[in-house]
Amino acid sequence: MSSRFAALVVWLVGTVGLALHGAASGSDVFQTYSDKQILDYYEQLAFGADLTTPNLKDFVSTHIWKRDQAHKVQVVLLPQASVSLVDSSLVEVKVVLGEIAQRSGGIVAHVVNLKELGLLMQSEKGKMALSADVMWVFIGNRQEMMTNLKRMSSNPAVAALLGSRVMEDESHPFCLASNHTTRMPPSEIEISMVWIETGPAFRECLYEEFMQAFGIAHDFPEGVPSIFSEDRLHTAPSELDWVLWRIHTDPSIVTGMGVDGARVAASTILSLLRGSAGPATTP
C-alpha cells in the first residue's frame, strides 16, 4: 500500500429520514418507465456477487449488502507516485463524491485536509476509526494499479479480481472495487478497496466504483441506459441510475433484506419519488 496520502479525506455520514432531494430530476424516468420496470432494474442491480469474497457470494446473491448509513465512512485517497497532490484528478473526486452524496437518500460529504488527517492519525481513537468503515481509494496509472492489486492478492476478494477482464484487456479502463466485512453477514460493508486508473475514463470510473463500494452489487447487460451497462455507452449516471441510487441509499433499504422485502421497501420509496416528480404515464 502506498504511504502517500492525498490532500483530502472525505467523510460520508449517513443521516436518518427520507430526503427527496434530486427526485424532480428523475421526472423523465417516471414518464418513461413503469414502477415494475424500475423495480425490476433495481432488483437486478442490487443483488449480485461481483465485489465480494467467495464465502459471501451466496448471501449477496439473495440479500441486500450495503453500508450502514448511520456510520461515518472515511474515503481515504491514496494517490500513487504518478499523481501529484495538486493533481486535477483529486478535484474530480470531490466533485463526483459531492454529486453522489447530494443525489443519495442520506449521505453527506465533509472534506478534511491532510493536516486534519494527520491530527486524526495521532490519536488512538483516530487510528481505530481507520480500521473499519473505510474506503481506500488507489489512484494512479495502469501499472501502479496492477502492482497494488497484486500486492494485496492474499485477500480472497482481491485475488478474485486478478482474473477479471480488466487485468487483460487494456482497452478497458483499470477500475475495480472490492467490498469486505470483518464479521459475517448480516453485518454491513465495513471496508472497501477501490482502484481507479487516471486517464480519459477517470470520471466515469469514479461514479461507477464509488457507487458500487456503497453496495451496488451488479452490472447491467448491454442495452440498459446506465453507467453500469456492459456496453459502456454512458460516461455518467443516467437519470435512471440516479433514481435507482436514491432507492438503494434510502435508510429503509438495509443489509440482510431478501429480494421480496427489498422490493416492497423500494416500491414505497418509488411511490414517494414518483409523487414528488409529477403524474406518471400509463405503463
Question: Which structural domain range is residue 66 located in?
Answer: 8-277
- Mean pLDDT lowest for which of 21-30, 154-163, 249-258? 21-30
Domain assignment of residue 260, yes or no: yes
Domain assignment of residue 261, yes or no: yes
Q: What is the pLDDT of residues 64-108, one digit of tens each?
A: 999 888 777 778 888 889 988 777 887 888 889 889 989 999 886
Q: Which residue did the predictor score with more confidence, 126 or 13? A: 126
Residue 78 burial (CB count, 10 A): 20
What DSSP character marks residue 88? H
Model pLDDT, residue 32: 92
Domain assignment of residue 114, yes or no: yes
Question: Please, which pLDDT band fits residue 113 given cuts at 50, 70 and 90?
Answer: low
- Sequence-distant (≥ 6) Cβ neighbours of residue 250 within 8 angstroms: 18, 105, 106, 265, 269
Model pLDDT, residue 255: 93
Report percent pLDDT > 70 for the chain: 75
Rounded to whole angstroms, how far apart are CA atoms 83 and 73?
A: 24
Q: In this structure, are residues 56 and 217 in contact, taking their beta carbons and an 8 Å threshold?
A: no
Judged against a pLDDT cut of 80, whether residue 44 lies above it is answered with: yes
Model pLDDT, residue 3: 34
Count structural domains, the chain.
Answer: 1
Domain assignment of residue 1, yes or no: no
Rounded to whole angstroms, how far apart are CA atoms 103 and 275?
A: 17
Average pLDDT across the chain, whole number: 79
Domain assignment of residue 197, yes or no: yes
Q: Whose CA is closest to 47, among 269, 283, 255?
A: 255
Domain assignment of residue 210, yes or no: yes
Q: In this structure, are residues 255 and 188 in contact, taking their beta carbons and an 8 Å threshold?
A: yes
Residue range 31-54: average pLDDT? Answer: 84
**Kind of pairing, strands 191-197 and 107-113?**
unpaired
Q: CB-based burial of residue 170 (10 Å sphere; 0-12 exposed, 13-18 middle, 19+ buried)?
A: exposed
Residue with cell 453485518: 187
Residue range 258-263: average pLDDT? Answer: 96
Rounded to whole angstroms, how far apart are CA atoms 8 and 89?
A: 12
Q: CB-based burial of residue 86 (10 Å sphere; 0-12 exposed, 13-18 middle, 19+ buried)?
A: exposed
